[in-house]
Chains A and B, each alone.
Chain A
Amino acid sequence: ETGVTQTPRHLVMGMTNKKSLKCEQHLGHNAMYWYKQSAKKPLELMFVYSLEERVENNSVPSRFSPECPNSSHLFLHLHTLQPEDSALYLCASSQVWGDGYTFGSGTRLTVV
């Protein structure tokens, strides 16, 4: 399998649930990202990991918790989410400057 794979593709969770989103890249990239895409809003960067260390955290609420156990895997742990957290969550990876990100297909999250 190649590229960036995200699972699950769709997720419905209650506000008291705990769930995790998974991202896996098979490109040998050394940086990975979580983005949030809400309706009618630009993509928002949530977290950046470079060489498995978090280098960016754009004031994301603590109910979102990232984990990067190695350069190929990235998780987003979710707990006590709010309905406004419903969105498409996109994972991406990159290597060399100028090549652009490679995105996954996203996880469409609905919080009920």
Chain B
Amino acid sequence: AQKITQTQPGMFVQEKEAVTLDCTYDTSDPSYGLFWYKQPSSGEMIFLIYQGSYDQQNATEGRYSLNFQKARKSANLVISASQLGDSAMYFCAMSPTYSGAGSYQLTFGKGTKLSVIP
């Protein structure tokens, strides 16, 4: 079984500052992937970034970076230079890695509500 824990129900950050959203996970799968999604008030879940458990380098996508510490089982999201449009719910998720393409199950955390202050 997999479990995702996000301990910050809500976070505030000043515009243009960086912010770190915490995520810890637990799994018995030897190979897995970690994801972060953004959910604005409109409801759509937007994929932000992915980290494979065997990736040697931390993932980066524009202003988003994933601070992956495998031994600590943490996969924190760092948003640099926050913008007002970053205000949203952020979800950490994980899935085991299966061979072959097709379907897989994502397990989500409860999310963190980020509010960017002008």
Report whether chain A binds chain B: yes
**Is B43 among interface residues, defined by CB-CB distance under 8 A?**
yes
Whole-angstrom CA separation of A108 from B98 in the bound complex? 32
Interface residues on A, range: 20 to 34
In whole Å, how far is A39's beta carbon from the nearest beta carbon of chain B? 11
Whole-angstrom CA separation of A105 from B105 in the bound complex? 19
A106 near B44 (CB under 8 angstroms)? yes
Interface residues on B, range: 20 to 34
Note all chain A residues with C-beta closer than 8 A to B44. Answer: 103-106
B52 near A42 (CB under 8 angstroms)? no
Note all chain B residues with C-beta closer than 8 A to A45. Answer: 105-107
Identify the A interface with B (CB < 8 A): 30-31, 33, 40-43, 45, 48-51, 55-56, 88, 90, 92, 94-106, 108
20 extra A-B contacts, CB within 8 A, seeds A97-B97, A102-B47: A30-B102, A42-B110, A43-B91, A43-B106, A45-B106, A49-B103, A50-B102, A56-B103, A90-B43, A94-B104, A95-B101, A97-B101, A97-B104, A98-B50, A99-B47, A99-B50, A103-B37, A103-B44, A103-B45, A106-B44
